[in-house]
Amino acid sequence: MIDQLWLIPLGFGAGILGSMIGLGGGIIVVPILTFFGFFPTLAASNSLFAAFTNAVASTISYSRQKRVEFSLGLKLGILTIPGTVFGAYISSDVTPEVFKILFGFVLIASAIYIFLRKKIESKEQNFSKQMMVFAIGASFFAGIISAFFGIGGGIIFVPLMVVGMGMAMKKAAPTSQLILLFASLSGVIVHTLLGHSDFLQAGLLGAGSFVGGLIGARLSVEINERYLQILVSIVIIAAAVKMFFDSLSNNLFLLITD
């Protein structure tokens, strides 16, 4: 257990960032676990548990700040569940090299979103039937990537609520945490049933992430977000480049040895 205590500060740092930007801490946790040789399904399962505890802590804090749209969050959260079941099942068949390439693209998309999030706010609210149908499809897709990659799905929901529905960013990110609570919990359950989980590792990550979520929700109203956006975007892009490089290097090595 002692040699795995580093997972607590990892969960703590990822929890702070995940809570503040509304994406969950998986975009930090999964690359680091992958770099340390964790198999994709184990990394995703552990990360989802951390995302769950982070979502619980963040939702509690944000609800006290009256920044969570509970009605919408509950509906979208429940809609993610079928997607998380499917995502966890198909994750069993992915190789580490393919996982790294796919996750690298997810990281780049996350970095673009984080850097531009203040520029995508819409002034018009849109709760039309067409938008609701689109939201159902987006929720299912978000559930898939949530369980497959272990990132929670916030990269789908925050832009959906801000750009598609016209919700203010100060409420979209907190509401995303409520949605992630459903997506991450259902993903953890399915990964556990499939035998992908390590409860000790997940518990250590989750403990750090819970505390980080409480702190991140408080810091979100005080910190200069622009500096945070730049820092997190640089780190995520660097992680994406490393994942691409590792995957291509492994494939090249296999070609040479064959």
**Nearest Cα to 189, choosing from 74, 79, 81?**
81
pLDDT average, residue stretch 207-235: 77
Residue 207 is predicted with a pLDDT of: 93
pTM recorded for the entire structure: 0.79
pLDDT average, residue stretch 142-147: 86
Question: By CB neighbour count within 10 A (0-12 exposed, 13-18 middle, 19+ buried), where does 239 fall?
Answer: buried
Cα angle vertex 189, ends 144, 67, to 5°? 70
Distance CA 81, CA 78 (A): 6
Average per-residue pLDDT for the chain: 81
Please report which confidence band the pLDDT of residue 226 belongs to, taking 50, 70 and 90 as the band edges: low
Distance CA 63, CA 79 (A): 21
pLDDT for 177 beyond 60: yes
Half-sphere exposure of 221 (CA within 13 A, CB side): 13
Token representation of residue 66 = 């009256």
Q: Specify the higher pLDDT residue, 239 or 124.
A: 239
- Hey, is 41 helix, strand or coil? helix
Residue 156 is predicted with a pLDDT of: 77
pLDDT for 88 beyond 70: yes
pLDDT average, residue stretch 110-121: 66
Give rounded-to-5 percent helix, strand, coil for the chain.
80, 0, 20
Residue 7 is predicted with a pLDDT of: 92
pLDDT average, residue stretch 218-232: 69
